[in-house]
């Protein structure tokens, strides 16, 4: 007897399956609607979403095993925005499961994306390459082909539901696969496989990246030259800077080779914003393309942001990272700032002057010229020598890039494709381990990720790491195969003011190691509420929380007699040594307080922090004076001291005439001594 059904039997079977399918849709959608209307929290039933290989598709070459099953935490409500109602019919409740877990067989590397993560932009929705999914997504629910597909799927192990087609463009979206979950959910899945996402382009994450593209083999320097748009400058200052670079070919070589890592990304961002490509050369004169550069004014990174301006442009600065050194974040902030300045002044030269000197100073210089009925062009404004030389220096670099042979210099060969890719991070991971898995030395890894000056990368505060094009895929593959612990450090908040030695004993590490990792100088206390980086132990294996990673701060205070903080505004010739001598403190301490070296020479008007004893002592000629306030004896500060002494004498004479009751007690002034 023939066991296969007749044509009439197949038609009846298809009708029954269609009826069951529509019934399942109604039940599931009704459940979702009722749960939304109900005031009590009713969880949607757990589902198994199975995504089959398209009909006729060949299995992976060399892979004879069953398709691996991956899981993620999601519910029908989370997936309903991705899977259309006509597709949910094939989803069936998982018998005996009440944990709200959606599972499904999927090809490795194509995770199921919950709709909520897609809506928040945390996970991009992958695009189906084949046409078979589009055919399945656009098939009518009541057609015979849909019934046959349902019949075949129900009779095949590992049956799947394909994603719906994008009807606006006629392309299918899918398959759905389970990505690593960020945040607290990631802590519940302590495996290396979900620690990172796939490598993407830093400017257009959704765009494919290929070094085989014809444009990728063009010269990046030519692209920069072709987009020069600012009018040229000429004059003695330009020629002086050209000669300076011409006489230092080794310096130019180091600077351009260092910049070769970052220049493509900056050119891409400048081009995307419609800005002149001269702006891409600005880091050459700001920092020589050194993202670790730190000026005496505490400007940091290759774009040289001071702390306050960095915060104004959303560059986070905390215990764990300094975005002023981050390649992507600082470039975004610098171009945002330059765009704002250009909008204020309507001229790129004035915008660049304001970037160097400050928008307020440029605005006042323009107002001063207007009052004097003078021109307000860059060349006609009165400004400091540094700002006066700023644009001529940029023009000299522009001239060298335009024609290096004219100056006897050679630029490194640069191709018009990314040097690095961005790899999303979802789990805390040690820097040394990340560099090892990426087949990089730690120094090169930190060169691309300079904002990370701690031994661990915190996923909650670090959206991605940058890796060279060829190393990004190696990193993802090696990490997926890694089975050891990812991070050996965590964060600890101090609940009371401690000496570093006492804190080290509490957490079981040496004092030197604690100081080194957390950059704690000698003779300083750790104030209550500060956050320290400490080794993990058995009780603290989870990743650092987002709140801690984003807001952690460390506050130190000198360990010794009660001190008060003095802010001193420097003169033209002030150095660390001269200021330390003025306040009778060690130059090394002054350098630590201000994060500079002992050989630093300060610029005029810079604010320097000094801690001086708050106790008072008698001085040789009578009166009371702060022991840390070693007053200046010349210049403006000498005149200020004279005026202050004169006022004190007048007050003392008046008090004497008024009698003893009116005399006020003589105490040390609480104002910083000899400040400007």
Q: Of 254 and 5, which is predicted with more confidence? A: 254
pLDDT of residue 623: 38
Q: Both tokens of residue 231?
A: 């009018």
Of 270-274, 357-361, 521-525, the poorest mean pLDDT is in 521-525
What mean pLDDT is predicted for residues 576-587? 93
660 band by pLDDT with thresholds 50, 70 and 90 = very low
3-state secondary structure of 172: strand
pLDDT above 60: residue 657: no
Q: Of 195 and 211, which is predicted with more confidence? A: 195
pLDDT of residue 560: 74
214 band by pLDDT with thresholds 50, 70 and 90 = low
Place of tokens 């309507």: 346
pLDDT of residue 617: 43
pLDDT above 70: residue 141: no
Identify which of 117, 130, 121 has the alpha carbon closest to the alpha carbon of residue 174: 130
Q: Residue ranges per domain, the chain?
A: 7-57+65-179, 181-209+419-487, 214-407, 489-558, 563-662
Select which of 50, 78, 278, 286 is catalytic.
286
C-alpha count within 13 angstroms, C-beta hemisphere, residue 493 = 10
**pLDDT tens per residue across span 356-376:** 999 999 999 999 999 999 999
Q: Both tokens of residue 478?
A: 């090696």
pLDDT of residue 627: 41
pLDDT of residue 547: 92
Whole-angstrom distance, CA of residue 143 vs CA of residue 141: 6
pLDDT of residue 669: 33
643 band by pLDDT with thresholds 50, 70 and 90 = very low
615 band by pLDDT with thresholds 50, 70 and 90 = low
45 band by pLDDT with thresholds 50, 70 and 90 = very low
SS (H, E, C) 331-378: HHHHHHHHHHHHHHHCCHHHHHHHHHHCHHHHHHHHHHHHHCCCCCCH
476 band by pLDDT with thresholds 50, 70 and 90 = very high
pLDDT of residue 522: 87
What mean pLDDT is predicted for residues 72-100? 37
Q: Both tokens of residue 25?
A: 């849709």
Q: Of 493 and 147, which is predicted with more confidence? A: 493
CB contact set of 186 (below 8 Å; sequence gap of 6+): 180, 194, 426, 427, 459, 543
19 band by pLDDT with thresholds 50, 70 and 90 = low
pLDDT above 70: residue 666: no
Identify which of 60-64, 116-120, 451-455 has the greatest average pLDDT: 451-455
Whole-angstrom distance, CA of residue 89 vs CA of residue 76: 11
Of 125-134, 239-248, 269-278, 406-415, the poorest mean pLDDT is in 125-134
595 band by pLDDT with thresholds 50, 70 and 90 = confident
User: Is domain 214-407 in CATH 1.10.530.10, yes or no?
Assistant: yes
353 band by pLDDT with thresholds 50, 70 and 90 = very high
pLDDT of residue 144: 38
Whole-angstrom distance, CA of residue 174 vs CA of residue 178: 12
Q: Return the beta strands (E) in 498-585 as ranges.
A: 524-526, 531-535, 556-558, 563-569
pLDDT of residue 79: 37
CB atoms within 10 A of CB 30: 10
pLDDT of residue 15: 60
Q: Both tokens of residue 482?
A: 């890694």
Whole-angstrom distance, CA of residue 488 vs CA of residue 538: 11
Q: Of 352 and 522, which is predicted with more confidence? A: 352
3-state secondary structure of 210: coil
CB 321 within 8 A of CB 264: no
Identify which of 129-138, 209-218, 544-553, 623-632 has the greatest average pLDDT: 544-553
Active site residue 546: no
Environment class of 24 (CB within 10 Å of its CB; exposed 0-12, middle 13-18, buried 19+): middle
Whole-angstrom distance, CA of residue 289 vs CA of residue 282: 9
3-state secondary structure of 247: coil
pTM: 0.61
Of 64-68, 274-278, 309-313, 386-390, the poorest mean pLDDT is in 64-68
Question: Pairing relation of β-strands 563-569 and 607-613?
Answer: antiparallel
263 band by pLDDT with thresholds 50, 70 and 90 = very high
CB 430 within 8 A of CB 456: yes
What mean pLDDT is predicted for residues 395-405? 98
405 band by pLDDT with thresholds 50, 70 and 90 = very high
Identify which of 19-33, 108-122, 637-651 has the greatest average pLDDT: 19-33
C-alpha count within 13 angstroms, C-beta hemisphere, residue 84 = 16
283 phi and psi angles, rounded to 5 deg: -60, -20
Of 95-109, 398-412, 563-577, 605-619, the poorest mean pLDDT is in 95-109
CB contact set of 60 (below 8 Å; sequence gap of 6+): 107
463 band by pLDDT with thresholds 50, 70 and 90 = confident
3-state secondary structure of 419: coil
Identify which of 36-45, 318-327, 642-651 has the greatest average pLDDT: 318-327
Q: CA 526, 487, 434 angle in degrees (round to 5)?
A: 115
pLDDT of residue 204: 72
pLDDT above 90: residue 529: yes
pLDDT above 80: residue 11: no
Q: Is 289 left (phi over 0), alpha (psi -120 to 50) or beta?
A: left
Whole-angstrom distance, CA of residue 245 vs CA of residue 187: 52
Check residue 663 and report its DSSP letter: P
């Amino acid at each position: 007897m023939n066991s296969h059904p007749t044509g009439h039997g197949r038609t009846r079977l298809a009708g029954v399956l269609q009826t069951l399918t529509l019934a399942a849709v109604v039940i599931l959608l009704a459940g979702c609607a009722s749960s939304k209307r109900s005031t009590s929290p009713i969880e949607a039933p757990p589902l198994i979403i199975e995504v089959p290989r398209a009909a006729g598709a060949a299995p992976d070459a060399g892979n004879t095993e069953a398709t691996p099953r991956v899981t993620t935490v999601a519910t029908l409500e989370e997936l309903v925005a991705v899977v259309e109602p006509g597709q949910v019919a094939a989803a069936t409740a998982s018998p005996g499961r009440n944990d709200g877990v959606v599972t499904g067989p999927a090809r490795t590397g194509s995770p199921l994306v919950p709709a909520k993560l897609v809506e928040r932009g945390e996970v991009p929705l992958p695009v189906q390459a084949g046409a078979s999914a589009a055919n399945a997504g656009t098939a009518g629910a009541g057609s015979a082909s849909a019934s046959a597909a349902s019949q075949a799927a129900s009779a095949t192990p590992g049956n799947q539901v394909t994603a719906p087609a994008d009807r606006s463009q006629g392309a299918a979206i899918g398959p759905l696969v389970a990505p690593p979950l960020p945040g607290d959910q990631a802590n519940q899945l302590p495996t290396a496989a979900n620690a990172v996402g796939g490598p993407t382009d830093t400017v257009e994450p959704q765009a494919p990246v290929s070094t085989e593209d014809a444009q990728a083999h063009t010269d990046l320097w030519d692209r920069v030259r072709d987009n020069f748009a600012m009018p040229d400058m000429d004059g003695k200052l330009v020629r002086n800077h050209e000669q300076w670079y011409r006489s230092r070919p080794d310096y130019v070589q180091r600077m351009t080779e260092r910049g070769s890592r970052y220049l493509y990304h900056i050119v891409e961002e400048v081009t995307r914003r419609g800005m002149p490509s001269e702006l891409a050369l600005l880091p050459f004169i700001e920092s020589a393309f050194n993202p670790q550069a730190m000026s005496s004014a505490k400007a940091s990174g290759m774009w040289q942001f001071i702390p306050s301006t960095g915060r104004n442009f959303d560059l986070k600065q905390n215990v764990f990272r300094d975005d002023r050194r981050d390649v992507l974040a600082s470039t975004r902030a610098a171009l945002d700032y330059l765009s704002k300045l250009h909008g204020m002044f309507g001229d790129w030269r004035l915008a660049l002057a304001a970037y160097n000197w400050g928008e307020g100073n440029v605005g006042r210089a323009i107002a001063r010229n207007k009052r004097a009925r003078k021109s307000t062009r860059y060349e006609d404004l009165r400004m400091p020598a540094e700002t006066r030389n700023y644009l001529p220096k940029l023009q000299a670099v522009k001239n060298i890039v335009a024609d290096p042979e004219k100056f006897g210099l050679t630029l490194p060969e640069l191709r018009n494709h990314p040097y690095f890719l961005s790899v999303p991070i979802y789990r805390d991971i040690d820097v040394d381990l990340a560099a090892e898995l990426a087949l990089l030395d730690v120094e090169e890894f930190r060169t691309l990720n300079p904002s990370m000056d701690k031994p661990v990368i915190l996923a909650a505060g670090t959206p991605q790491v940058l890796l060279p094009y060829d190393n990004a895929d190696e990193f993802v593959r090696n990490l997926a195969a890694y089975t050891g612990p990812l991070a050996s450090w965590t964060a600890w908040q101090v609940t009371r003011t401690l000496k570093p030695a006492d804190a080290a004993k509490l957490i079981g590490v040496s004092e030197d190691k604690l100081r080194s990792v957390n950059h704690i100088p000698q003779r300083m206390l750790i104030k209550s509420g500060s956050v320290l980086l400490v080794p993990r132990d058995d009780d603290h294996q989870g990743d650092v929380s987002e709140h801690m990673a984003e807001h952690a701060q460390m506050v130190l205070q000198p360990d010794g007699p009660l001190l008060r903080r003095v802010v001193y505004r420097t003169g033209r010739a002030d150095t660390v040594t001269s200021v330390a001598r003025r306040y009778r403190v060690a130059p090394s301490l002054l350098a630590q307080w201000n994060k500079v070296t002992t050989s630093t020479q300060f610029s005029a008007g810079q604010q320097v922090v000094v801690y001086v004893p708050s106790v008072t002592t008698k001085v040789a000629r009578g009166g009371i004076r702060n022991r840390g306030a070693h007053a200046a004896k010349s210049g403006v500060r000498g005149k200020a001291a004279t005026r202050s002494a004169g006022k004190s004498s007048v007050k003392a004479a008046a008090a004497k005439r008024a009698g003893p009751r009116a005399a006020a007690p003589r105490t040390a002034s609480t104002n910083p001594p000899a400040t400007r």
